[in-house]
Structure 1
Amino acid sequence: MNKHIKKVAVIGSGIMGSGIACHFANIGVEVLLLDIIPRELNDKEKANGLTLEDKVVRNRLVNDSLAAALKSKPSPIYHQKFAQRITTGNLEDDISKVGQVDWIIEVVVERLDIKKIVFEKLDKHRKPGTLITSNTSGIPIKFMSEGRSEDFQRHFCGTHFFNPARYLKLFEIIPGPKTSTEVLDFLNGYGEQFLGKTSVIAKDTPAFIGNRIGTFSIMSLFHAVKEMDLTVEEIDKLSGPVIGRPKSATFRTVDVVGLDTLVHVANGIAENCKDDERREQFTLPDFIGKMMENKWFGSKTGQGFYKKEGREILALNLNTMEYRPSKKASFATLELTKSIENVIDRFKVLVTGKDKAGAFYRKSFSSLFEYASNRIPEITGELYKIDDAMKAGFAWGHGPFQIWDAIGVEKGIEMMKAEGFQPATWVTEMISAGNKSFYTIKDGATYYYDITKKAMEKIPGQDSFIILDNIRKSNEVWKNSGVVIEDLGDGILNVEFQSKMNTIGGDVLAGLNKALDLAEKDFQGLVVGNQAPNFSVGANIGMIFMMAVEQEYDELNMAIKMFQDTMMRMRYSAIPTVSAPHGMTLGGGCELSLHADKVVAAAETYMGLVEFGVGVIPGGGGSKEMALRASDTFRKNDVELNVLQEYFLTIGMAKVSTSAYEAFDMGVLEKGKDLVVVNKDRQIATAKAYAQLMAEQGYTQPPKRKDVKVLGKQALGMFLVGTDAMEDSNYISEHDHKIANKLAYVMAGGDLSEPTLVTEQYLLDLEREAFLSLCTERKTLERIQHMLKTGKPLRN
């Protein structure tokens, strides 16, 4: 099916509808967002003498919903200017416009009768061949298209986005009785390639895949919390980052999503899954019923499992149903995993715990394994789809079958039986046939156990990805404690950081230099990329702190120079270098990307030079580079001071982009050179392709720059007057003032009497001198120490 999506219509502008509209705008698609007209005037409209016939009134609901979405945080849109791609209207005046779109997505209230009325109207105006889908989270797809035209039914199915649509990757596609295979294949590919999603084709069963397993998991914990005498905070401690799940864990997540939403889904499963062997888990515990009566739905009502009073966070005592101060939870079992960096390696330790935490993990994982294995083939025939759905829809680091594999399938079965649970029959048959795991890696690809074929089959769709976990062992070229260098094939190397939070210290810098040595000798190009949650949070400030405290300034000077020299090697290598940032790309991680020949950034890249937060200026070439980029931006008749000031403020205000697209505005990504990919899974493969292309086109090592225009005293005077004024008005502290003046001196090129052309090395020397001088300051050391202890900046 060769179809191009140029324009979509989204019907329904609530939180979900507006979020979907924004995400299509994110990827460059024109959007028509429609909703119903108001039934009565509000007070403001009455005061202004408006009537129900006025256009501004008729579009009030849709415009207010979109405006609220665009103001929400985190933002549903990559860049505010992308909102211009969305046109609003109402379902009476503008419904005929759906005849001009390529795809109609219905996101109205979850009532079958209302959806059928909407579909009847849409069927009259859509042109043949237009895709039409529903974002329902639970209503059977088979009922929705009854009575519609043949063309409607062939092009109709469910497309279930998860909220928030920008951030959660799951895209469930649910076929109707007559949906054509061409439509399903198209949507599967479009979701992955263009929307940046994990596309999963699901069966038309209640709650589909993600919500069926995810709701069961949450409801199980609701029942376990009292049975095991655990508190709300303890469950959240046990079900959060320690097992690779979001910080919001269980109860905080429910507060954010809304308890009423969860209850609606759970009730739907209980009512419609009468043959589910664990149906009782979807019945509501007494405390949930009480919370529903009290309308304690979570964030939307100001209280749920947690409640904020002033600065204090209160937690709900599920026995007394009263709020009390939140208590920090701790368990001996969790202490055993502190030294285990990779989450997947923690599971076999967690289930052996001798305390309440170990008992919790044995029971909860056993219950989850039983339920997930019994849902095959009911909700899907392929086990990897359950894992994909939980990772993409609920932000789990690992799905049920991956966790089971990590514990060991046979050991998992022993644990389950001890806890009173049983695996599905197909699992024991798999073991009996000699297959000891659900997944295996072969030739750089992941294979899964196919229940029908009773054999390992390659997971489809991997050819467009490079999965570093799959090639690391077989393609390893070199490694140390900080990096692994892998051969990506076709003459391209990849250097992957392996340090904690991918911080950049001596081992990482040594690895980068080794990768450049190897690439220049025997390869054609180098990619710097990884598939951890974040690209790099910056330099190893712990190392800097220790050197500064011990007053080892010569060693610190050498360490900073090594960082600068490595960045310059990235810039002036004999082979093309490509950086692939994603997630947090801060400080030194940002500086590395600034010095690559090309940046292939994931859309969700939060990038910035944040060194002011720890009391220094960017010292790995970042201050120099922003002065250079300002110089390259100067144009005839520019007020050059204003241009330089923008780059100065990017550092001085420690700006961090909320998407890769915002990074272009900040000057840390460059238009015409760098690019953005929406699907992070494709990022390494795309970066490799560009490195290969640059090499094939005849890459030439660039000459070192000697033409950086600095403005000297002219700029320095302006900056110093500005920082004085900011301190006088209490906008910045005395130490902020000192740091800003150091940065001003570097970016002005010193106190030169007139604008001058200088070398990059001249600016690097100024930058390093300023960085070192700030490391002698007590307040800088206080800032670094505070960051190391709390992970938060100190303004002293």
Structure 2
Amino acid sequence: MTRRIKKVAIVGSGIMGSGIACHFANIGVEVLLLDIVPRELSEIEKSKGLTLEDKVVRNRLVNEALTSSLKSKPSPIYHQKFANRITTGNLEDDISKIADADWIMEVVVERLDIKKIVFEKIEKFRTPGTLITSNTSGIPIQFMNEGRSEDFQKHFAVTHFFNPPRYLKLFEVVPGPRCSQQVTDFLMMYGDKFLGKTSVLAKDTPAFIGNRIGIFGIMSLFHIVQEMGLTVEEVDKLTGPVIGRPKSATFRTIDVVGLDTLVHTANGVKDNCPNDEMSDQFVIPDFVNSMMEKKWLGSKTKQGFYKMTKDAKGQKEILSLDLNTLEYRAKKSAKFATLELTKGIDNVADRFKVLVSGKDKAGEFYRKSFAAMFAYVQNRIPEISDELYRIDDGLRAGFGWEHGPFQIWDAIGVAAGVEIMKAEGKDPAAWITEMLANGQSSFYSVKEGASYYYDIPSKTQVKKPGQESFIILDNIRKSNEVWKNSGVVIEDIGDGILNLEFQSKMNTIGADVLTGINKAIDLAEKDFQGLVVGNQAANFSVGANIGMIFMMAVEQEYDELNYAIKYFQDTMMRMRYSAIPTISAPHGMALGGGCEISLHADKVVAAAETYMGLVEFGVGVIPGGGGSKEMAIRASDSFQKGDVELNILQENFLTIGMAKVSTSAYEAFDLGLLQKGKDIVVVNKERQIATAKAHAKLMAESGYTQPVLRKDIKVLGKQALGMFLVGTDAMKDSKYISGHDMKIANKLAHVMAGGDLSEPTLVTEQYLLDLEREAFLSLCSERKTLERIQHMLKTGKPLRN
């Protein structure tokens, strides 16, 4: 039987329920979102003379919840129009509509009695064979199954999303004791392929995998903090990006999630895992209990471990909590000699050996925290998972860790990790000792481009399942390398397709990257069929190397700068007019030059979470790598008979002039940065390179023909230029933009209008590129542009001067 999901019914419209509803809408599924009927009228409803029988009243709770979710930042939905896929209703009038659903999901409050009432209602109207799941994070399935029919139990499992559902990738699938294997397999597949998640099969144990280990890590850290006398700032410095964790690190993350949520989960583990050898670590420390009593829960109560306030001058100031006195004080900077030693180590995995070898307080902290974590995860097998890789997948996808516990242990060395544990009074598990005794020195290995993990029962390295749909660049980089320099690696990804992977800091685009793009095209045209430009770093590219531009401009090396900009433009034109199909695979930030690469590819295979924009205005210039030219071309190509052509051109002008950045790949279509009918979106970033390769191969085998240089671009000349100049002047007079903003905007206007031609004219692409380059160079000679570039280099933030 082939199961397809066309409609999902979600019961419970709270933060999680509405968020899950939005994510199903994101992927094109029809959603029915239900909640209870209000028991009494609101004051507004009373003033309007409404009654409890009015539909608008009966659906008030669900409608308010969904509206609040859609207004939240960051948005739970890829595009606001996708909200039209969600229909709301209540559990009395609309419960019968679940009969049409292919999947029914319960997302109500974490109380077994309430869940049982909901399941009773669902079973009256559910069509046999329909999937039924719960988003619970702690109630045992056997209790939820009580009183349910055989068909219900056969199709029942827990599908646990992490909040916010759109952004966090973990999707824990916990089959019920009588759940069929076909249902489990389907849910695992659907989470990966359709929802874009990392599907992790978990056992029905308290907190499952992600929260069991993640909350242990935090609770253990609380005890270490007290033991070592560390400050909030010191801990967040030690547990943030330096070890591949989010910038919010530990205490800021707790503030965002809510201290009460953490305490609830920790208590759940402590109360329900009596045989946990480290249950004492889940005991809530006194300082946390005091914070709970004071309702210092984090962002939701405006104060937690951090508190936003204003100083005497009215400026915002962030205060930190002193964990000893429980009083707020000014933030203190945190510095450690050990961290200084890692500054030149770009690969996070390579830092761990240095960190645990530290001779200062930082080194001691890492040895204590990693020893506790290693000791804990080794003993969770087979309790919460039979396979160690599922624990790593859960922590990486649910908590945003770059490396899971066993991967960190591997990076330090399994034997070395055991020694660290012993030094902290913790013994290795029997299977660890046996593994090392048998000559197995690593939890993971790579063979022929595939990842393998140590399988405890067989005592061998076993291939990690589900890799067939992925191309993992880390696994093939060395064996499939065709060419490399300091900025790129070119890999053979099979079937005649090359992949160009950026390797520069934050994937910025400088001369080495441009050289790599040209080399990749040379190689592909000679011996291959197509080229993918893609990587699997945090971001596709944050844009051009503005440090290089700044140095040339300060030294007034305008000939060299002119050459550098022309080299960028010429490289983009090579992508556009190569003899082989070029595919761009942007994800994360694709800004400035990173966006321009996609604008010039034959096709874009974008990850849904792509934040794309031409943001050069922020550093005082216009897009100089063909971006300004391309937006003028796209306006020209969209002109239809009867159109007000100026309005179309103006939209593209504002996309650049306002430095608009899409909040998803779908919004990039609205901005004209992606093209409907040509570019596509993939929800699971892990599948992106493989999908891009498939499209490159298809285009090549379908008879790809090298494009002909454009000579038919319609520019509007003085007609458009006049409109733009009047507009920028008005905006300056109204103080909406600065004088320098107006100067930049007028330069852009000159390019996109095609200069001051007396009438609409057909021009070549090179004509527009020359105008673009001239405008870019002239702006680089402006003092205020140099101030903007310098400010961006120093602070990472734009300057309005």
Taking structure 2 as the reference length, what is the TM-score of the superposition? 0.99
- The yes-or-no answer on 1:712 pairing with 2:708 is no
Which whole-Å CA distance do the structure 2 matches of 1:184 and 1:158 have between them?
10
Residue number in structure 2 paired with 1:221: 221
Which whole-Å CA distance do the structure 1 matches of 2:164 and 2:348 have between them?
25
- The yes-or-no answer on 1:356 pairing with 2:368 is no
In structure 1, runs of 5+ residues without a counterpart are: none
Report if the CA contact (8 A) 1:6-1:102 is conserved. Answer: yes
Residue number in structure 1 paired with 2:253: 253
Q: In structure 2, give the amino acid aligned to 1:693.
A: L
Which whole-Å CA distance do the structure 1 matches of 2:698 and 2:502 have between them?
24
In structure 2, runs of 5+ residues without a counterpart are: 311-315
Report if the CA contact (8 A) 1:23-1:165 is conserved. Answer: yes
Which whole-Å CA distance do the structure 1 matches of 2:615 and 2:509 have between them?
15
Which whole-Å CA distance do the structure 2 matches of 1:429 and 1:204 have between them?
28
Report if the CA contact (8 A) 1:191-1:197 is conserved. Answer: yes
| CA-CA distance at 1:331 after TM superposition | 1.0
- The yes-or-no answer on 1:787 pairing with 2:792 is yes
Q: How does 1:323-334 map to 2 (within 5 A)?
A: 323-334=328-339
| CA-CA distance at 1:335 after TM superposition | 0.8
| CA-CA distance at 1:763 after TM superposition | 0.3
SS in 2 for 1:489: coil
Once the two structures are superposed, residues 213-251 of structure 1 have per-residue CA deviations (whole angstroms, 9 ceiling, x without a partner) of 000001111111121111011111110111111111111
| CA-CA distance at 1:329 after TM superposition | 1.3
Which whole-Å CA distance do the structure 1 matches of 2:152 and 2:665 have between them?
38
- The yes-or-no answer on 1:605 pairing with 2:614 is no
Residue number in structure 2 paired with 1:298: 298
Residue number in structure 2 paired with 1:282: 282
Once the two structures are superposed, residues 573-612 of structure 1 have per-residue CA deviations (whole angstroms, 9 ceiling, x without a partner) of 0000000000000000000000000000000000000000
- The yes-or-no answer on 1:263 pairing with 2:268 is no
Which whole-Å CA distance do the structure 2 matches of 1:228 and 1:564 have between them?
55
SS in 2 for 1:113: helix
Which whole-Å CA distance do the structure 2 matches of 1:526 and 1:423 have between them?
48
| CA-CA distance at 1:299 after TM superposition | 0.6
Once the two structures are superposed, residues 391-447 of structure 1 have per-residue CA deviations (whole angstroms, 9 ceiling, x without a partner) of 000000000000010011111111111122222211111111110000000010000
Residue number in structure 1 paired with 2:644: 639
Which whole-Å CA distance do the structure 2 matches of 1:483 and 1:52 have between them?
65
Which whole-Å CA distance do the structure 1 matches of 2:343 and 2:558 have between them?
32
Which whole-Å CA distance do the structure 2 matches of 1:605 and 1:339 have between them?
28
Identity %: 80
Residue number in structure 2 paired with 1:48: 48
Q: In structure 2, give the amino acid aligned to 1:294.
A: K
Q: How does 1:720-739 map to 2 (within 5 A)?
A: 720-739=725-744
Residue number in structure 2 paired with 1:506: 511
User: Which of residues 375, 384, 394 in structure 2 aligns to 1:370?
Assistant: 375
Which whole-Å CA distance do the structure 2 matches of 1:292 and 1:211 have between them?
20
Q: In structure 2, give the amino acid aligned to 1:334.
A: L
User: Which of residues 548, 551, 555 in structure 1 aligns to 2:553?
Assistant: 548
| CA-CA distance at 1:774 after TM superposition | 0.3
SS in 1 for 2:635: helix
Once the two structures are superposed, residues 551-583 of structure 1 have per-residue CA deviations (whole angstroms, 9 ceiling, x without a partner) of 100000000000000000000000000000000
- The yes-or-no answer on 1:451 pairing with 2:419 is no
Which whole-Å CA distance do the structure 1 matches of 2:225 and 2:746 have between them?
55
Residue number in structure 1 paired with 2:95: 95
Once the two structures are superposed, residues 57-85 of structure 1 have per-residue CA deviations (whole angstroms, 9 ceiling, x without a partner) of 11000000000000000000000000000
SS in 1 for 2:451: strand
Q: In structure 1, give the amino acid aligned to 2:188.
A: N
Which whole-Å CA distance do the structure 1 matches of 2:458 and 2:204 have between them?
23
SS in 1 for 2:390: helix
SS in 2 for 1:536: coil
Which whole-Å CA distance do the structure 1 matches of 2:2 and 2:403 have between them?
34
Residue number in structure 2 paired with 1:35: 35
Q: How does 1:326-725 map to 2 (within 5 A)?
A: 326-725=331-730
User: Which of residues 751, 760, 784 in structure 1 aligns to 2:765?
Assistant: 760
Taking structure 1 as the reference length, what is the TM-score of the superposition? 1.00
Q: In structure 1, give the amino acid aligned to 2:128.
A: P
SS in 2 for 1:157: strand
Which whole-Å CA distance do the structure 2 matches of 1:409 and 1:503 have between them?
35
Q: In structure 1, give the amino acid aligned to 2:404.
A: G
Once the two structures are superposed, residues 487-508 of structure 1 have per-residue CA deviations (whole angstroms, 9 ceiling, x without a partner) of 0010000000000000000000
Report if the CA contact (8 A) 1:203-1:379 is conserved. Answer: yes
Q: How does 1:157-176 map to 2 (within 5 A)?
A: 157-176=157-176
Once the two structures are superposed, residues 84-126 of structure 1 have per-residue CA deviations (whole angstroms, 9 ceiling, x without a partner) of 0000000011111111100001000000111011101101110
Pairwise CA RMSD of aligned residues? 0.6
Which whole-Å CA distance do the structure 2 matches of 1:423 and 1:788 have between them?
47
| CA-CA distance at 1:272 after TM superposition | 0.4
SS in 1 for 2:493: strand
Residue number in structure 2 paired with 1:203: 203
Residue number in structure 2 paired with 1:314: 319
| CA-CA distance at 1:663 after TM superposition | 0.1
Which whole-Å CA distance do the structure 1 matches of 2:51 and 2:330 have between them?
51
SS in 1 for 2:659: coil
Once the two structures are superposed, residues 677-712 of structure 1 have per-residue CA deviations (whole angstroms, 9 ceiling, x without a partner) of 000000000000000000000000000000010000
Consecutive aligned runs of 4 or more in structure 1 exceeding 3 Å deviation? none
Once the two structures are superposed, residues 302-360 of structure 1 have per-residue CA deviations (whole angstroms, 9 ceiling, x without a partner) of 11111101310011111011111112211111111111111111111111111111111
Which whole-Å CA distance do the structure 2 matches of 1:561 and 1:141 have between them?
63
SS in 2 for 1:531: coil
Report if the CA contact (8 A) 1:142-1:204 is conserved. Answer: no
Residue number in structure 2 paired with 1:84: 84
Residue number in structure 1 paired with 2:155: 155
Report if the CA contact (8 A) 1:488-1:494 is conserved. Answer: yes
Which whole-Å CA distance do the structure 2 matches of 1:381 and 1:735 have between them?
62
Which whole-Å CA distance do the structure 1 matches of 2:129 and 2:558 have between them?
70
Which whole-Å CA distance do the structure 1 matches of 2:333 and 2:70 have between them?
35
Q: In structure 2, give the amino acid aligned to 1:458.
A: K
Which whole-Å CA distance do the structure 1 matches of 2:458 and 2:186 have between them?
26
| CA-CA distance at 1:135 after TM superposition | 0.1
Once the two structures are superposed, residues 190-212 of structure 1 have per-residue CA deviations (whole angstroms, 9 ceiling, x without a partner) of 00000000001100000000000
Q: In structure 1, give the amino acid aligned to 2:78.
A: Y
Which whole-Å CA distance do the structure 1 matches of 2:565 and 2:92 have between them?
65
| CA-CA distance at 1:175 after TM superposition | 1.1
Which whole-Å CA distance do the structure 2 matches of 1:688 and 1:203 have between them?
36
Which whole-Å CA distance do the structure 1 matches of 2:408 and 2:620 have between them?
42
Once the two structures are superposed, residues 639-696 of structure 1 have per-residue CA deviations (whole angstroms, 9 ceiling, x without a partner) of 1000000000000000000000000000000000000000000000000000000000
- The yes-or-no answer on 1:741 pairing with 2:746 is yes
Q: In structure 1, give the amino acid aligned to 2:54.
A: D
SS in 1 for 2:104: strand
How many residues end up aligned between the 2 structures?
Answer: 796
| CA-CA distance at 1:142 after TM superposition | 1.6
Which whole-Å CA distance do the structure 2 matches of 1:666 and 1:32 have between them?
30
Which whole-Å CA distance do the structure 2 matches of 1:418 and 1:149 have between them?
53
| CA-CA distance at 1:619 after TM superposition | 0.1
Residue number in structure 1 paired with 2:313: none
SS in 1 for 2:139: coil
Which whole-Å CA distance do the structure 1 matches of 2:208 and 2:147 have between them?
23
Q: In structure 1, give the amino acid aligned to 2:390.
A: K
Q: How does 1:56-75 map to 2 (within 5 A)?
A: 56-75=56-75
| CA-CA distance at 1:39 after TM superposition | 1.0
